[in-house]
Structure 1
Amino acid sequence: MRRRSLLAAMTVVGCSPAPHELQGGWVGTHPERGHRLRESLPTGAARERKAHTLIVGAGIAGLACARELMRRGVDDIAVLDLEPVAGGNSRAHQMGGARCPLGAHYLPLPGPDAPEVYQLLEELGLVHQQLGRAVWDERHLCHSPQERLFIDGEWHEGLLPPADGPETLAQYRRFAVLVSQAQRELGFAMPTRRARWTSGHAALDAQTFAAWLDAQGLTAPRLHWYLDYCCRDDYGAPADTVSAWAGLHYFASRHGFHAPGDETAEREPVLTWPEGNAYLAERLAQPLQGRLQADRVALRVTESRSSVELLAWNVAEAAPERWQARQIVLAVPLFIARRLLADPPAPLRALQALQPRHAPWLTANLLLREPLIDRPGAPPSWDNVAYGSTVLGYVDARHQRLDPTPAPPLLTAYLPLAEAQRGDLLSKRWEHWAQHLLADLKTTHPDLPEKLSRIDLCRFGHAMSIPAPCVRGAAALQALSLVQGRIAFAHSDLAGYSVFEEAYTAGVVAGRRLSA
């Protein structure tokens, strides 16, 4: 295997023919639509529309809110979204006759603090109770092998780098103890609203995760790389940018941290599908039928004593619409909500002073002509990561296939970008970013460029809220969780970071309050 890999690398690097022209392009999002908020409002006659409840944003939070309202008998609703397809960061693409994710691609099994998520999964038939225990449909659990890491010239099972000496191993164990101590003494939950906020949480929230690690004497490069990877994976930003609360929350709210040799350690099971979390988003959107108003760009929200008015732009008709409703749910990032509101409430204005930040992201789906030659070590897995890479790795979109018929490989790669790169993400051609990704991925797969059939890229300018210091503990976030007159907010931004559990729960809670 080593000799074959070496020969393959020599062939690609030294003797390969001229590279073929890249086939691909941008898919999935329309940044120019969101940027209409920067322009002047349209004038002239607008088509009049009405609904009892308006929901702006058909991401997971907006879809969850609509679902909860309908469950409670509020049927006269309209859900507006600027994209043609609902789902937000949880939408899908198709290449080579197969589906693949454009964004979020897995969901950890919900714990006891996420009953809303569990109820959804139960109603979708993914889990059922048997003798008081949850029994999961194994077709939807991530198949084995699940994860591997390329380091020291070969693939290793799992993503935690093998310890390169006794000091690194000691620091792994020390960090495991600190995570367990935080779980026991402070308490963490997913979603975070289910954990009581204390002075201990506030102290962690006031400093960066990197600074806290240094203060604990946790300086081993391999531990730092792994924790930095985890922060970029869940928050879109490194350990020197997110808060220490966020860094610990990643582990303490879920599965903890298990050092090598921990006999109690079990790999965290996750749900995943070829299309990623679009599997869930599509099932949330399906019952909406005519209530989902796609290709609508919300422009301005004005509240009066008896109603709320929304001015929107109908992309298909290139014309304005004026919606009247009794109440409205802004299921959009909070900085967007502030731009939409003619008179933003005090908590939203206060939050602006903290200068909340959102991470830009790039995802790419790569359709290959044939399988890649693999390096020694652990076999190809669902999640494949290279130590030291700027790319978070790639997942195999065909990993969950039950059809044994051979098919060309389809990989989905993820790249969180620095905020300073947002302008480049929007202005530079797709070929630039394709080459950027290929240059990184070919360090582990030298034959990838010559076997690439097509690469489609999706860009999210403000994909994820970054839980920087002092964001999660901001009183304004707590205040915005409550209905503000005829306006309610429902978005994962209310938790200070972006994951499915937070978005879905925020939507359900908003639906409950509006229908009470």
Structure 2
Amino acid sequence: MLPDALEGGWVGQLAERGHAWRDGRWRPGGRIVFTRRVHTLVVGGGIAGLAAARVLQDNGLDDLAVLDLDDEPGGHSRGHVLMGQPCPLGAHYLPVPGEDAHEVAQWLESQGLIRRQQGRWVGDERYLCHSPQERLFMPDTDPGVGATVGAYWPGHWQEGLLPAGANTHRQHERFMQQARQLRQALGFAMPTVRKPWNAGLAALDAITFDQWLDQQGLDDPGLRWALDYACRDDYGAGSARVSAWAGLQYFVSRHEGDESADALLTWPDGNAWLVRRLAQGLGDRWHPATVALAVTPGRREVVVDSWSVRRNRPERWIARRVVMAVPLMVGHRLLAAPPAPLAAVQPLWRQAPWLVSNLALREPLIERQGAPLSWDNVAYTRQGPAALAEPSLGYVNARHQSLAPAPQDAPVVLTHYWALGGRDVKDEQRHRGLLWSQPWHWWAQNVVDDLARVHPDLPGKLLRIDLMRWGHAMAIPTPGLRGHPALAALADGEAARQSRLHWAHSDLSAYSVFEEAFTHGVRAARQVLRIEGPPQRMAWGRPRDTA
């Protein structure tokens, strides 16, 4: 049970404001008391929108504005401060980029985060994930049968997230060999636009990851658990829902399947640290708590009606160009006459709900036998509590990356992640409904129960829990989505020239990671610059010469 006087609650305003727009409580039209003209308007202040704004400014286009419904920039990369300690509310790491992520790598280099060494990108030691990086709690019995609170202990922690076992490791090596061969034969890249889509990739995109694994005879329970966990971690839903292309993309898209090369950049507050760097210099061009209501393209300009939450009034923006850095589901609702590609892809669209919980503890937890407290800490289990279809993703030690010693009275902060895409659409919808309908105490109890299975002393040490609910956190790359021609059509420069709308969101890659969002933001901004003509003065964001 939760402590009687536990403090905490929901943080963020995304759900309330999104639902107010969805339900028509804020409507376009009526008496407009504020109208402003800008050259380029960016709708959406996540990674794609911020990257677009940054490129436009760095290339001399200062007449712009960025609208976002939240109070802080960053989208799913926002951060939080819990009892004085920084912690993430969403995305919490970025792998050192591979060779295909030109735009991301050059920006990270400009920020002093990575450097070129012996032909590879190498991260600054201050920002690389400190050791020990990850561990897995292994119960003495298989938790897939009759798992209950307390059933996990006694048990032990092992290094790494692949369950120990000779057959598990044999099949894992066979899986990685097959994945590397497919990369060589078909081409996997991060971001995905770096390699052409082909029939082989389309065949993988047509079936689920589970179906592909079955075809390969990869049936070891430990391996299948690890691969399912990887899908839930990156896509919000497991291997039964995502395509085989997505399942393989996770492992071979960055560094040709060389796992040792996947060094991680991370900070106490996760990718919010990067957001602050991206948003520098926006100043009064950043317009928080501004909800876009309708986007109406015209022959010479685009009209965007919005609602200012802070001023409690409708407002109108008129721009020559609009960067649509919003999820495609949102974009479809903003346009009275959505373009044909946007309408065509909607039936395939599914988005995973997430819960991110930050817990403050009065003192460290009692450690179990085995590997010590790591940055990422996961329990090996195949089922969640009775109310939920999904096991959690475990927790991150938010202070793991702190270089300065914590004050003596500083709390221990753990960030617990729950991807709630479920096993099917019904699970996904039910979990999304529970996020909205159940009070924060109900969710807090589930989080505490989940952690207490490994750490039975946690409830007595809990001081506060702040929870962030993401009803539509990320696109689930279900079969057929990545290869749908609508995604390429929406990113097309000539279509953007005609419509004055430049689509920029990770949804255009069918899944949500930093590299995809950033690259689409840069591409959309460069489309604007090519059409409108300001001189390009900065080199980052363009591929380096390879001669």
Residue 278 (1) aligns with residue 279 (2): no
What residue in structure 2 maps to residue 386 of structure 1?
379
CA contact (8 A) 2:137 2:378 kept: yes
> Superposition pairs for residues 313-332 of structure 1, below 5 Å?
313-332=307-326
What residue in structure 1 maps to residue 534 of structure 2?
none
Secondary structure of 1:266 counterpart = helix
Once residues 159 and 262 of structure 2 are traced to their aligned partners in structure 1, the CA distance between those partners, rounded to angstroms, is 14
Residue 38 (1) aligns with residue 23 (2): yes
What residue in structure 2 maps to residue 10 of structure 1?
none
Alpha-carbon shift at residue 29 of structure 1 (Å): 3.3
What residue in structure 1 maps to residue 538 of structure 2?
none
What residue in structure 2 maps to residue 183 of structure 1?
183
CA contact (8 A) 1:22 1:431 kept: no
Match of 1:408 among 408, 411, 426: 411
What residue in structure 2 maps to residue 142 of structure 1?
129
Secondary structure of 2:104 counterpart = helix
Alpha-carbon shift at residue 43 of structure 1 (Å): 4.0
What residue in structure 2 maps to residue 303 of structure 1?
297
Alpha-carbon shift at residue 70 of structure 1 (Å): 1.1
Once residues 170 and 117 of structure 2 are traced to their aligned partners in structure 1, the CA distance between those partners, rounded to angstroms, is 41
Normalising by structure 2, what TM-score? Answer: 0.87
> Superposition pairs for residues 443-482 of structure 1, below 5 Å?
443-482=453-492
CA contact (8 A) 2:505 2:521 kept: yes
What residue in structure 2 maps to residue 429 of structure 1?
439
> Superposition pairs for residues 168-247 of structure 1, below 5 Å?
168-247=168-247
Alpha-carbon shift at residue 131 of structure 1 (Å): 7.1
**More displaced 10-residue stretch of structure 1: 143-152 or 463-472:** 143-152
Once residues 516 and 241 of structure 2 are traced to their aligned partners in structure 1, the CA distance between those partners, rounded to angstroms, is 21
* % identical aligned pairs: 57
What residue in structure 1 maps to residue 286 of structure 2?
292
Q: 4+ residue runs of structure 1 moved beyond 6 angstroms? A: none
Change (3 A) 1:341 1:425: same
Once residues 477 and 42 of structure 1 are traced to their aligned partners in structure 2, the CA distance between those partners, rounded to angstroms, is 28
Residue 194 of structure 1 aligns with an amino acid whose one-letter code is R
- Unpaired segments ≥5 residues, structure 2: 140-154, 385-390, 422-427, 531-547
Q: Could you list the per-position Cα deviations for residues 364-412 of structure 1 after superposition, in whole angstroms to 9, with x for gaps in the alignment?
A: 0001000000110001000000001611011111001112344421110
CA contact (8 A) 1:338 1:344 kept: yes
What residue in structure 2 maps to residue 377 of structure 1?
370
What residue in structure 1 maps to residue 146 of structure 2?
none
Alpha-carbon shift at residue 290 of structure 1 (Å): 0.8
Once residues 88 and 500 of structure 1 are traced to their aligned partners in structure 2, the CA distance between those partners, rounded to angstroms, is 11
Residue 515 (1) aligns with residue 529 (2): yes
Match of 1:89 among 57, 67, 76: 76
Once residues 326 and 309 of structure 2 are traced to their aligned partners in structure 1, the CA distance between those partners, rounded to angstroms, is 18
Once residues 190 and 378 of structure 1 are traced to their aligned partners in structure 2, the CA distance between those partners, rounded to angstroms, is 32
Match of 2:63 among 64, 76, 83: 76
CA contact (8 A) 2:235 2:475 kept: yes
How many correspondences in the alignment?
491
**More displaced 10-residue stretch of structure 1: 134-143 or 429-438:** 134-143
Once residues 117 and 221 of structure 2 are traced to their aligned partners in structure 1, the CA distance between those partners, rounded to angstroms, is 45
CA contact (8 A) 1:255 1:268 kept: yes
Q: Could you list the per-position Cα deviations for residues 158-179 of structure 1 after superposition, in whole angstroms to 9, with x for gaps in the alignment?
A: 111111x54x333222212211
Q: Could you list the per-position Cα deviations for residues 238-275 of structure 1 after superposition, in whole angstroms to 9, with x for gaps in the alignment?
A: 100000000001001134667xxxxxx62631000001
Secondary structure of 2:213 counterpart = helix
What residue in structure 1 maps to residue 400 of structure 2?
399
Change (3 A) 1:382 1:169: closer
CA contact (8 A) 1:20 1:450 kept: no
CA contact (8 A) 1:100 1:397 kept: yes
Residue 391 of structure 1 aligns with an amino acid whose one-letter code is S
> Superposition pairs for residues 13-32 of structure 1, below 5 Å?
19-32=3-16
Alpha-carbon shift at residue 132 of structure 1 (Å): 5.9
Change (3 A) 1:252 1:267: closer
Residue 279 of structure 1 aligns with an amino acid whose one-letter code is W
Normalising by structure 1, what TM-score? Answer: 0.92
Residue 344 (1) aligns with residue 338 (2): yes
Once residues 334 and 242 of structure 2 are traced to their aligned partners in structure 1, the CA distance between those partners, rounded to angstroms, is 27
CA contact (8 A) 1:29 1:458 kept: no
Residue 364 (1) aligns with residue 357 (2): yes
